[in-house]
Amino acid sequence: MNLKKYLFVGAALMSVSFFAACSDDENEPQNPPVEEPDEPNGDDPEGPVSLEDQWNNTNTVTWPADTIINLTEHYTVPEGKTLIIKEGVQIIASTEGVGANLLPVEFTVNGNLYCEGTEEKPILFSIPEAERTEANTFAGLWGGIVAGTTCEEMLIDHTIIEYTGGDVLEGAPAAQAGYYEAGDDAYPQITTNNVNGNYVITNSILRNGVSDAIYMMGGNAIIMNNLFIANGETGEEAVNVKSGCQVDVVGNVMFAPNTNALKLSSSDQSDVRPQAKIQAYNNTIINAGWRRDSDKGGGIYAEENVSVHVYNNLLVNCKFRAMTPGLDNLHNIEGGYDEANSTIDYNYYASGSQEVDPSYVYEQDINYSWEGYNYDHEDYDTERVDLNSVIATQDDSKDPQFANFDINTTSLTSYTYDDSWDFHLTASSPALEGAYSANASDMAPLFGTTGLTVNGETYTTPAPQPYFGAYGAE
């Protein structure tokens, strides 16, 4: 996968208008025809129809490759129906707002969604091009993808989702469905809610959002080989998992999440929302936590009876190392993580020499990553966590020797991603050795053998690799 190719999409694209289509078989996919710009509607008595009406007489709609879909209203994939988005499609959400309350445009999935982008032609969920500016990084200009309790399957492959995080307001579909509270929440880029749903998010870029990149309140998921950039403005994460979820998080690069790259919890666990179980390994996490002005943040956070196996991750210039709050009340949905069924170890913490921007003031007076790693934090489980991890000190940075990323130069609070960076390891990198390499069954991926079936295809999680981080040697 070449993530660099995602950042600028220059393919020629065409707009489409949808016409009413009839079929003798309502299960037959309907591909909306392209409207010729200089031709009348001819004998078509109905003319163009709304995006909502395209679902008439069909259970499957396909948006053809290289088309532009302009959303000025909320969009919904109805329960029991399927939307297939082909490569090169651009879904452009208006920033003008919907209705009297000027609600952010929301993309709701009550059925199935299959985003089938390619490396050469990724799918784009964004806003009008003129508004894709650095000033709007955390402007929260639309509502993101909200998969509801009836969404059974979702594939996000080679897809860019950006400039999300609008406030959930009164009358918003997500508020009416009870997924979020009006006035209290902002939209993540992707939300899931079905504890029985299957979700695969791979080869994609999730960037520039006010809230979390992925917020899972239910489902089985493989989250692999993605690039996360600038997720969260004031207190949010790259991947945030709650009860009712089983998730593999593998091979991702996570740059500058506001608080944590991985916030793992089994909050709200119940008979219908079982314990959250997460396997997270071989991820590269950079600059996590520094934009969160508190004692939280730094990369990995496990709490509230979650069962996790977090290992072989490479953390660079993060504010803290792995935290497990509630140590005086372990294995409790209102306290600490499930320590008896968890492993957080064999991680690699590297620190550059740069000091944090003095305008950021932290309660612990931490100014360097190595300082946070070695701080006597009440949420560090020193009896069980990171006993075999590699941890930088003031005198030993543990520089992983990336192919093209100087750990001493990028500001700790920066969230601007450089397309030229290369997080492969050089042949002499110390991060190529010392990772977990045994084959204990509890450390294996949840979906490494049986996989997850989405749209008839079975996706399996790759096996753990015997090095730290997302990429091995260049």
pLDDT, residue 364, reads 76
* Residue tagged 């190529």 (tokens): 432
Q: Which residues, given as ranges, of the chain have pLDDT below 50?
A: 1-46
Concatenated DSSP letters for 288-335? Answer: -STTS-SS--SSEEEETT-EEEEES-EEES-SS--B---TTS-S-TTS
Tell me: the pLDDT tens digits for 375-419? 999 999 999 999 999 999 999 999 999 999 999 999 999 999 999
Look at the pTM and tell me if it is higher than 0.75. Answer: yes
pLDDT, residue 48, reads 59
* Residue tagged 């003798």 (tokens): 24
Please say whether the beta carbons of 405 and 421 come within 8 A. yes
Closest CA to 434 of 400, 403, 406: 400
Angle at 42 between CA 36 and CA 44, to 5 degrees: 105
Closest CA to 160 of 366, 429, 368, 417: 417
Cβ density class 213-233: b for 16+ within 10 Å, e for less: bbbbbbbbbbbbbbbbbbbbb
Tell me: the pLDDT tens digits for 20-60? 333 334 444 444 443 333 333 434 444 556 788 899 999 99
* Residue tagged 């002005």 (tokens): 293
At position 195, the amino acid (one-letter code) is V
Can you tell me the distance from the alpha carbon of 181 to that of 76, in angstroms, rounded to the nearest whole number?
A: 19
Do the bridges between strand 262-265 and strand 190-192 make them parallel or antiparallel, or are there none, so unpaired? unpaired
Can you tell me the distance from the alpha carbon of 298 to that of 57, in angstroms, rounded to the nearest whole number?
A: 50
Query: Residue 221: what are its φ and ψ, rounded to 5°?
Result: -145, 145
pLDDT, residue 49, reads 60
Beta carbons within 8 Å of 10's beta carbon, 6+ residues apart? none
